[in-house]
Amino acid sequence: MNIRTELGKALGITDGIFLNDVELDPSAVRAVMINEVVPSDPKQDFYGGPGADYMMAAVSLLRNAGAPVSSIHDVLRMGIYVTNAVKTPKSKSAVDSTEIERSLPYLEKELSLFPNLRVVMLMGDVAKRAFNMISRKAAKKNAVPSVSTYKLGDSEIYYGCVRIIPSYIMTGGNILIEKSKVTMATGDVAKMLDIIG
């Protein structure tokens, strides 16, 4: 199945929306890592091609957590799908609720494509906000408490039968500056790897 094609059939694709153009077996996906925002250049996204910035960041994080990966296709073969919460590039330094809301139907549909999903990693505050918008719509409450991510470190959060792991953003320049967050994100990814076996 092609993700972009599936989402396009279900929701249409409006101008400025960037969707992952990747083939995968949806039943093989056991974990989804949700990053914050698509890059302004789609060639730098997770499935943008060899050397893409986002892909290299994800592969590096997974490798540091012990996964034997060297490409995004290795990541997919492990049953891990990586996506962005906001499907439009940032127009300002911060992402506002309208940008999240515009992309929310795509993210919600994307998550529904995976029948064997066991873990969702929320890589950054924007991903956490987007996922909470989905859970409020369905269950009338936040799946993830609205507190700092570090305070949730030892919490086991579930949305139905799916384990939710809030973590830190895995792309962009700040990740290189904040070494403690890289260490914590690596530990969170290791947890995910343990759960999916």
Q: Give all strands (DSSP E) within the chain, no chain letters.
A: 31-37, 80-86, 119-123, 157-159, 162-167
CB 163 within 8 A of CB 141: no
pLDDT of res. 99: 93
Q: How far is CA 67 from CA 59, 73, 195, in A?
A: 9, 13, 13
Q: Which of 3.40.640.10, 3.40.470.10, 3.40.50.300, 3.90.1150.10 would CATH assign to domain 3-196?
A: 3.40.470.10
77 contacts: CB under 8 Å, gap ≥ 6: none
CB 3 within 8 A of CB 32: no
Instruction: Sheet containing 80-86: give its strands across.
Output: 80-86, 31-37, 119-123, 162-167, 157-159
Instruction: Kindly report the pTM of this predicted structure.
Output: 0.94
| Domain boundaries, given as residue ranges, for the chain | 3-196
pLDDT of res. 154: 76
Residue 11 three-state SS: helix
Q: pLDDT tens-digit profile of 160-175?
A: 999 999 998 888 755 5
Res. 52 pLDDT band, cuts 50 70 90: very high
Query: Hey, what amino acid is at 84?
Result: N
pLDDT(71) > 90:
yes
Record the tokens describing residue 183, joined without a space: 């260490």
Query: Can you tell me the distance from the alpha carbon of 24 to that of 63, in angstroms, rounded to the nearest whole number?
Result: 21
Q: pLDDT tens-digit profile of 102-115?
A: 999 999 999 999 99
Q: pLDDT tens-digit profile of 126-162?
A: 999 999 999 999 888 888 877 777 667 778 999 999 9
pLDDT of res. 194: 97
Please give the mean pLDDT across all residues of the chain.
92
